[in-house]
Amino acid sequence: MPNPLRIASKTSIGAVCAALVLLCADTALLQTAMAEEAPPEKRPQAWYPRTETIGPDEMFVVALGTGMPTPITRAQKSTAWYVELGNGDIFLFDVGSGSAENLFALRPDFHRVDKIFASHLHTDHVGDAPVVWVGGWLSGRYRPLHIYGPSGAEPALGTAAYVEGLKKTYAWDIAGRSGILPDAGGQLIAHEFDYKQDGGVVYEANGVKITSFPAVHVIDGPVSYRLEWNGLSFVFGGDSAPNKWFIEHAKGADFVIHEMFYTPKGLETALGFPPRQATIVSSYIHTPPSGFGKIMAEVKPRLAVGYHTIRQPELDQMMLEEVRKVYDGPLVIADDLMAWNITKDAIAQREVVSAERVQAPPTTQGYKTAPRSGQASYSEYIDAGKWPGYTPPPLPEP
């Protein structure tokens, strides 16, 4: 029998494609109906962007980046975590290099993506902050982007200096877009707090409270965070060696994220480090699997989440064997685009399924009507260089 696709006309192939599109649309509708009618633990394992509404008492978490500074691959970006609450708030905890790709894959309402909480200022934790700043502005944010983060051992090493540096670096980019895009969306605002504060409140609004506490990583400055809302708790640790503050502030939390780095031998295998350097990196400025396990045995979370690794089966096995010597509670090693729906009754793990050529979601009426100061102008020299052979279309009324 001949292959029907081999003899099909362009018209019939188009019909097949159209039918597939309709089938996908029907699948998404079915997914929506199943998800919104079921509790988290009974929803489909796949999560499709813009097919579900977060429940009013629910927390939704997505791993946007679970890897390291190198390599950044299509499968794993650097550290970033997305938290959406049933009250409509969205928070980003770190935005490491490459992670914005996975943020855009979620197709969120970008006018709500306006808060980043940085654990420290390594590129694998904040490298995509300018991408979220400008890309989010182009995609629907019409309010400033706020970056919350710690001070440093000196002013030049703090979050405020980092944000001012971004403004200088991207001055041309912002000046060229302001006025055509909503003016306020191009603003970047730093909220720097003392890295030494032990459980101090760094954000409180709309029923959400976020506190910070110190971490131990490379130099003074890194912190971890705890978010509390509606009886649910989320704890995020950036890079750190095991420390007393994390154990104190993470105890009993629902969803606890902490780095689970390699063993020294694993780091030698993964990146070819010499033994001494591998030991220093894995066990003195990061947390190896045995340290992660001991921390979680003290914290006793509803779910312990490890990350900051290069996912390879043999390395996963090495890490799990070390953890399970000291911790026997609920555990997952996170991978990019894992997702969790969290309620007081259940924590359901799922996988984000998204198109490769994803487009930004539709902008809101608020974005379309937000104040704009007008198009930037050229100098007379550049304006005189316009080619008379081309006439642009007339501008629509504002």
Same domain, 35 and 127: no
Q: What CATH number is associated with residue 347?
A: 3.60.15.10
Contacts of 155 (CB under 8 A, 6+ apart): 161
Residue 259 in contact with residue 240, Cβ under 8 Å?
yes
18 and 98: one domain?
no
pLDDT score, position 24: 47
DSSP string, 168-206: HHTHHHHHHHBTTB-GGGG-EEEEEE-TT-SSEEEEEET
Residues 161 and 277 occupy one common structural domain: yes
Q: How many independent structural domains does the chain possess?
A: 2
pLDDT digits (tens, 9 = 90+) for 254-293: 999 999 998 888 888 888 889 999 999 889 999 999 999 9
Which of 189, 192, 212 is closest to 201 using CA atoms? 212
Question: Same domain, yes or no, for 324 and 231?
Answer: yes
pLDDT at residue 336, rounded to an integer: 97
Residues 342 and 296 in one domain: yes
Number of helical (H) and strand (E) elements in the chain, helices listed first:
14, 16
Those residues of the chain that have pLDDT short of 50 are 1-30, 33-34
**Are 98 and 36 found together in one domain?**
no
Q: How far, in whole angstroms, is CA 12 from its chain's centroid?
A: 42
Does 18 share its domain with 124? no
317 and 301 housed in the same domain: yes
pLDDT score at 270: 81
pLDDT 10s digits, 177-226: 998 999 999 999 999 999 999 999 999 999 999 999 999 999 999 999 99
Whether residues 183 and 207 share a domain: the answer is yes
State which amino acid sits at residue 16: V
Is 37 in the same domain as 63? no
What's the pLDDT at 213? Answer: 98
> Would you state the pLDDT for residue 269?
84
Q: How far apart are CA 131 and CA 98, in angstroms?
A: 9
Domain identity same for 196 and 63:
yes
Cα gap 278→299, rounded to integer Å: 27
pLDDT at 104: 96
Residue range(s) defining the domain that contains residue 321: 49-352
Are 36 and 134 in a shared domain?
no
